[in-house]
């Protein structure tokens, strides 16, 4: 199959089941279709239902809530992060029919990202064992006398003993008489573990590594040696990135003017204030008239109804920086000149979801209050069309 960036399109789908995180998909019920065109392409569906995943290669994309389409090369590139998803989406090289936000919200949540292990120059077990003596840390092995045997099977295998005594470590081919422990594995598994491409604990659990003798001794050996560093690693440069999520606690003083505003909301009233010089209203009220720069003391009640002068239908909501939560879309902020307000003084709030299809500039709206207002932002639920 044709490879792009070191992987095939099929690799992405073949690895989907092992990359799936069922605990993140408990409330998910969706069928997503994928179409990669061109050489190495194909069609697949991913059916995710209440924590289970079924991936199938198909002839036709049927019954999918959302489908994702791209040329095979773009497909692999975006999945691997070699091509920026947002750029591909903007230039339409990557097309989504349905909810495009899935790419950024759902998919990263329920799948571990697909990666390709870089093809490094193979380092043999023998070469690694040759560095053991130089990596020994005598300060960590004070008072320790131990022989550790390595029985490496397979093509590049062999038998070695690491002899630790009197603050020194010597490596000998073959097994010594009194081995405290013997580790048995394929030579390539040993190399993989030393290079970090194979996780030691998983290798042991899956039976790839067998231990004869004192298991605790085997576990202790790692701390006697500095980590092995692949000399060829200069090619694949590691770039460090630190991720931090801080948040600062804050306290905001309302002051008497905003305080009056919230007190008004508690009584289901919109309390604006009115400039003594130019007579314009300001909602929410502010200490000073922005045009005349004089202090404003007179409060006036506006509305409750008003006329819509402008509105936005928002399809894309930015995720909350702390929680990652995304608002339900579409939602509609409306700009309302309330009855009694100056003509340029619009009040922004949200429109009732059910009225989104019928909203027009010039429409009359009225507020819908919470049952028990407490003097907070949530006292007004939304505005609705006044019919």
Partner 1 sequence: MKKHKKNRNVAIIGIGQTSLSSHKEDQNQVEMVQEAVINALQDAHLTIDDIDCIVHGNMELFEMQFAPDLWHSLGTGAYGKDEYRITTGGTTGMTLVCAADNLVASGLYDTVLAIGLEKLQEGNTTGGITNMADPLWFRNLQTGALTGTTAAEMISEFGEERAKRAAMKYRIMMDKHAVLNPRAHRRFGLEYEQAEDLMANSPQLVGELRLIHMCSQSDGACAMIFTSEKKAGKGTGKPPVWIRDHIQGHREETIPNLFGAVKPEMTHHYCARKLYERNGITDPVAYFDVFEMYDPSAWWAMDWLREFFLLKGDEHIKMLERGDFDLDGKIPINPSGGVIASNPIGATAMLRPAEAALQIRGDAGPHQIKKEVRHALASGFGGTFWTALMILEKDLNW
Partner 2 sequence: MTCKHEDTRNCFVLEGKMALPNQYFAGRLGSKFIIALRDKKKIMGVRCQKCNKTFIPPREYCEQCWSKIAENWVDLGSEGELVNFTVIRYNDKHLPKKAPYILGQIKLTGADTPLTHVIQGIDPKDVHVGMKVKAVFAEKTTNTIMDLDHFEPV
Distances (CA, A) of 287 to 252, 266, 277: 16, 20, 14
Specify the residue, 344 or 376, whose C-beta has the smaller distance to partner 2: 376
Nearer to partner 1, 51 or 375 (CB): 375
Per the CB < 8 A criterion, the answer to whether 361 and 311 are in contact is yes
Q: How far is 75 from 117, CA to CA, in rounded Å? A: 18
Q: Which of 24, 102, 309, 352 binds partner 1 (CB under 8 A)?
A: 309
29 or 320, CB closer to partner 1?
Answer: 320
User: Contacting partner 2 (CB under 8 A), which of 178, 207, 235, 240?
Assistant: 240
Site string for partner 2, 344-383 (x = CB under 8 A): -------------------------------x--------
Asked whether position 290 contacts partner 1 by CB under 8 A, the answer is: yes
Least distance to partner 1, CB of residue 328, Å: 13
Q: Which is nearer to partner 2, 91 or 247 (CB)?
A: 247
Q: Which is nearer to partner 2, 216 or 248 (CB)?
A: 248
Nearest one of 269, 273, 362 to 311, comparing CA atoms: 362
Single out the residue of 91, 238, 102, 223 nearest to residue 169, CA to CA: 223
Q: Taking a C-beta distance cutoff of 8 angstroms, is the pair 224, 144 a contact? A: yes
- Contact (CB, 8 A) for 94 and 78: yes
Q: Which C-beta is closer to partner 2: that of 65 or that of 137?
A: 137
267 counts as binding partner 2 under rule CB under 8 A: no
Q: Which helix (H) or strand (E) holds 76?
A: helix 72-80
Contact status: 287 vs partner 1 (CB under 8 A)? no
Buried b (16+ CB within 10 A) or exposed e, 247-285: eeeeeeeeeebeebbbebbeeebbbbbbbeeeebbbbbb
CA pair distance 379, 369, nearest whole angstrom: 6
91 binds, among partner 1, partner 2, none (CB under 5 to 8 A by kind): partner 1
Comparing CA positions, the residue from 294, 291, 297 lying closest to residue 257 is: 297
Q: Compute the distance between CA of residue 63 and CA of residue 67 in angstroms, rounded to an integer.
A: 10
218-277 residues in contact with partner 1 (CB under 8 A) are 237, 239, 241, 246, 250, 252, 254, 258, 261-262
Nearest-approach distance from CB 322 to partner 1, in angstroms: 8
Residues that bind partner 1 (CB under 8 A): 84, 87, 89-93, 95-96, 100, 237, 239, 241, 246, 250, 252, 254, 258, 261-262, 284, 290, 307, 309-319, 321-322, 333, 335, 337, 342-350, 361, 377
Residues that bind partner 2 (CB under 8 A): 223, 226-227, 229, 237-256, 259-260, 262-263, 295, 320-322, 375
């Amino acid at each position: 199959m044709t490879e792009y960036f070191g992987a095939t399109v099929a690799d992405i789908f073949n690895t989907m089941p092992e990359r799936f995180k069922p605990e993140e998909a408990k409330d998910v019920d969706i069928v997503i279709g994928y179409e990669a065109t061109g050489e190495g392409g194909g069609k697949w569906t991913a059916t995710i239902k209440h924590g289970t995943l079924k991936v199938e290669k198909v002839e036709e994309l049927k019954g999918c809530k959302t489908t994702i389409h791209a040329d095979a090369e773009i497909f692999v590139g975006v999945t691997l992060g070699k091509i920026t998803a947002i750029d591909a989406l903007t230039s339409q090289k990557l097309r989504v029919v349905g909810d495009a936000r899935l790419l950024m919200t759902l998919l990263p949540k329920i799948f571990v990202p697909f990666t390709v292990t870089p093809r490094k120059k193979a380092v043999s077990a023998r070469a690694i064992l040759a560095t053991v003596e130089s990596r020994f840390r005598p300060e960590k092995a004070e008072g320790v006398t131990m022989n550790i045997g390595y029985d490496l099977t397979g093509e590049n295998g062999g038998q070695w003993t690491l002899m630790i005594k009197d603050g020194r470590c010597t490596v000998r081919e073959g097994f010594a008489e009194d081995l405290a422990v013997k580790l048995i594995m394929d030579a390539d598994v040993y190399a993989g573990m030393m290079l970090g491409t194979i996780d030691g604990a998983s290798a042991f659990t899956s039976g790839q590594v067998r231990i004869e003798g004192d298991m605790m001794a085997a576990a202790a050996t790692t701390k006697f040696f500095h980590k092995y560093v692949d000399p060829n690693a200069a090619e694949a440069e590691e770039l460090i990135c630190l991720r931090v999520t801080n948040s600062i606690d804050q306290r905001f003083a309302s002051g008497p003017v905003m305080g009056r505003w919230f007190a008004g909301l508690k009584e289901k009233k919109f309390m604006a204030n009115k400039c003594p010089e130019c007579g314009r209203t300001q909602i929410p009220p502010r200490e000073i008239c922005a045009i005349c720069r004089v202090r404003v003391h007179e409060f006036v009640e506006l509305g409750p109804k008003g006329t819509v002068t402008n509105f936005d239908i928002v399809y894309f909501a930015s995720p909350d920086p702390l929680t990652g939560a995304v608002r339900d879309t579409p939602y509609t902020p409306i700009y309302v000149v309330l009855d009694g307000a100056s003509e340029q003084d619009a009040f922004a709030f949200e429109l009732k979801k059910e009225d989104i299809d019928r909203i027009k500039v010039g429409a009359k709206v009225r507020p819908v209050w919470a049952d028990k207002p407490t003097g907070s932002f949530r006292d007004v639920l939304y505005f609705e069309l006044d019919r």
